[in-house]
Amino acid sequence: MPDARPRSACAAPATVKRTNCSRGFALSHTATGRLEQATGKADSGCFRKPGYRPTRWTCACRTAERPSTVGEGGEGFCWVFIMKNVFRTRLRWAALGLLSAVCLSGLAQVAQGTLKEVVVTATRIEQPLADVLASVSVITRSDIDKAQAQSLAELLASEPGLEFSRNGGPGTVTSFFIRGQESRNTVILIDGVRAQVDQLGALQITDMPLAMIEKIEILKGNASALYGDSAIGGVINIFTRGAASQSGAFGDVSTGSRNTNSVNVGYGSKVGDTQFSVSAGGYKTSGFSSKNSNLILANPDSDDYGSGYFLANISQSINRDVQVKLLLQSFQSSANYDGFDASSYDLFNKKNDVVGVDTKVRWNDSLTSNFNFTKSNLKYEDYLNYKLKADGLYEGSQDAYRLTNTYEINQNTVLSFGIDQSVEQFTASGDFGYRMNRSLLGYWAGFNSRQNKWSFQANIRNDRINSIQRDVTDSSFGINSTLLGMGYQWNSNWRATASISNGFKSPTLYDISTNKSLVAETYNSVEGGVTYTSGPTSARVIYFETSSQNFIDYNSDWSVASNIGATLIKGIESTLKTTWFGNQIKLNLIRQDPLYLTYNSDLARRARIYGSLDLSRNWQGFDVGTKFSAAGERNDQNINAANTSVQKLDPYTLWSFYASKKLSDHWIGRVKLENAFDRSYQLAHGYNVPSRGVYLSLQYRP
């Protein structure tokens, strides 16, 4: 049995090249055993992304799945006690969530219509949120404005079942952990189309500007039978601001701590059967030093970050049965980060361009088809002291095709089926440059039905994946995924749900470059829960469990990937939303065991218990609120130690306060105080997080 060590959690890096590991860099093998890029000294054979951990292998550091920013900190005071009483705590909080829902429902005011929200991510067809069997969270444009978050990671941080981590400030490596799964086991969709990843499987949209977003749906649980490769922890579906149904300008300006400023402007209109929306914006902050120079040699100056975007949507109704949409999107960012020199200037530029066409055809009253084509291009540039590094250029492209058909058998039963295909290409510069290609083809079908008090969901999918390096096929395999779910409505308030599913995570192109005989990681999941709804009150308690086989890890000298690992993640997710005497309450608590069985340790940067509480109300014309969040102790790798060294990250609690006021029919003023008590905490060992900050914004809406 291998020595116990914290399994790394780095999110997949930008690019990693095959190289001689004796040249001052090696794989980090701390939390997940997966490859992750490390920010490090300029060295041939390694492409770095800001925030990747310094380890024996500068190119690939899995020590913390892309850490993120959450902007608030503090030391936990209540969670420590709670974690000592694991089993009793789980039952106590689960019971408390449902008991609170029952009690508060009697005091609740007029229903807010949250459960009437229509979602598509859970089944790939439109469904009222109240009818969905899986656990789905929805973030509306109104929620985004109210949160006044400085990043996508910060916005998602308070959603049930989701943790995040980041190696420093904005633009550095950011990881999303859904229900304790690896960040690489999360699929991000943009308007329903899988977002581009790099050849290490790294998520590339973690710093997407919030001004581009209209709505986010978060599906938690194994969804490979719906979305194929990597959809083990869940799916984050981001809907960009679409074509406007009415004419009007919109925009906002904001300013705040650390010289943070942003401007966003846009205009939308409807002319006959044509709707369009165009928007653009920029964000700039002086930031803070990514690394703690008291723990490791690093440039102590502030690491600034800037980004800009352009977004255009056009929708044309050809007739009552045919609609065509065009999407144009461009995003670029520039982030300073801390390498391994106290005086060096390290800069990382990223550019992502997307063009997409979507056609919807209603053949008859029962059958509807959707065809989508999206082309995206990704480019990384890594600079040292204002010069592009010899191995500092990486480029990737993705052509994605999607065909979705929906057939309504009757009012209560819908059959869906379709095809997903994508072709990916990756190239990198330097002595160890490469050219890699990967093609994915998936066929899927789904069945959803509601019969009296019973609800049923069944999904099946077959995926075929081919990987090619320098025009030679390195890997080719096919795999099936399934999902079966059911629900029972006891009465108008209570509902029980359960599901069983399996899925997979294919080897990344880099994994295959070290070992062509790798097979896909396989995952088996079960979950069951109880939901209570009454008026504006909704409470849910869900037990989830996912085990993996053939987990890909690296050998002792970090040169060859093999299917040698196994993980087991199980837990309880409890949520409550209600209105009580004019107070809007949003509470979530997660208790989980994120276990790496092979090493008898917890997966890195994931707490066994975490949660948040958001309270808001209207007071004398102001909408005011506070958010409290906390997380328990987590494992990580000591930034200055060998790979076997375990570093504990202390529990923390965070407080934020926010307020807004409608100044006129079109203008709204907002203010937020985050990390109100200026706590010091860590999301990744050796990396700093934002201190107390105050932010002001002024919004204009038509």
Q: What is the pTM of this model?
A: 0.86
How many CA atoms does the CB half-sphere of 522 hold within 13 Å? 12
pLDDT score recorded for residue 115: 57
Q: What is the pLDDT of residue 69?
A: 32
pLDDT level of residue 47 (50, 70, 90 thresholds): very low
Domains of the chain: 113-239 (2.170.130.10)
- Three-class secondary structure of residue 463 per DSSP: strand
- 580: enclosing H helix or E strand: strand 567-580
Least confident stretch, 89-93, 261-265, 603-607, 626-630: 89-93
Encode pLDDT of 315-324 as tens digits: 999 999 999 9
Contact 631, 163 (CB under 8 A): yes
Cα(131)–Cα(119) distance, integer angstroms = 10
Assign 432 a pLDDT band (cuts: 50, 70, 90). Answer: low
**Token pair 């989980």 in the structure block, residue:** 592
| The pLDDT of residue 469 is above 80 | no
The pLDDT of 630-651, averaged and rounded, is: 83
Question: 418 vs 32, which has greater pLDDT?
Answer: 418
Look over the chain and give the mean of its residue pLDDT values, rounded to a whole number: 82
Contact of 66 with 11, CB cutoff 8 Å: yes
What is the model's pLDDT at position 643? 54
**69-92 confidence digits (pLDDT tens):** 333 333 332 333 333 343 344 444
Instruction: Please give the pLDDT value at position 438.
Output: 87
In this model, does residue 238 exceed pLDDT 50?
A: yes
Kindly tell me if the per-residue pLDDT of 97 is higher than 50: no
Helix, strand or coil, per DSSP, at residue 287:
strand
Of 208, 264, 262, 266, residue with least CA distance to 237: 208
The residue type at 169: G
pLDDT of residue 340: 76
pLDDT, greater one: 556 or 67: 556
Count Cβ atoms within 10 A of the Cβ of residue 621 and give its class: 0-12 exposed, 13-18 middle, 19 or more buried: exposed
The confidence band for 37, taking pLDDT boundaries of 50, 70 and 90, is: very low
Q: Is the pLDDT of residue 429 over 90?
A: no
Which of 25-39, 421-435, 484-498, 637-651 is predicted least confidently? Answer: 25-39
CB-based contacts of 470, cutoff 8 Å, min separation 6: 434, 435, 436
As a whole number, mean pLDDT of residues 643-665 equals 91
User: Which residue stretches of 378-466 are H helix?
Assistant: none
The two structure tokens encoding residue 440:
């994915």
pLDDT greater than 70 at residue 690:
yes
Helices and strands of the chain, counted as H and E runs:
6, 36
How far apart, in Å, are the Cα atoms of 13 and each of 405, 438, 527?
35, 17, 31
Of 57-71, 191-205, 340-354, where does mean pLDDT reach its minimum? 57-71
pLDDT of residue 522: 96
What is the arithmetic mean of pLDDT over 525-554? Answer: 94
Q: How crowded is residue 427: how many other Cβ atoms within 10 Å of its Cβ?
A: 16
pLDDT at residue 517, rounded to an integer = 87
Task: Identify the CA nearest to 693 among candidates 207, 260, 284.
Answer: 260
36-50, 81-95, 106-120, 214-228 — most confident range: 214-228
Token digits of residue 206: 């973690």
CA distance 215 to 199: 28
> What pLDDT, on a 0 to 100 scale, did the predictor assign at position 55?
31
Residues 457 and 226: their CA atoms lie apart, in Å, by 11
- What confidence tier does 502 reach under pLDDT thresholds 50, 70, 90? very high
pLDDT of residue 311: 96
Average pLDDT over residues 642-649: 75
pLDDT in tens, 264-301: 999 999 998 999 999 999 999 999 999 988 888 888 88
Q: What percentage of the chain has pLDDT greater than the value 70?
A: 80
CB 275 within 8 A of CB 247: no
* Mean pLDDT, residues 353-359: 96
Could you tell me the sign of the dihedral formed by the alpha carbons of 71, 73, 79, 83, in that order?
A: positive
Checking if the pLDDT of 669 tops 70, the result is: yes
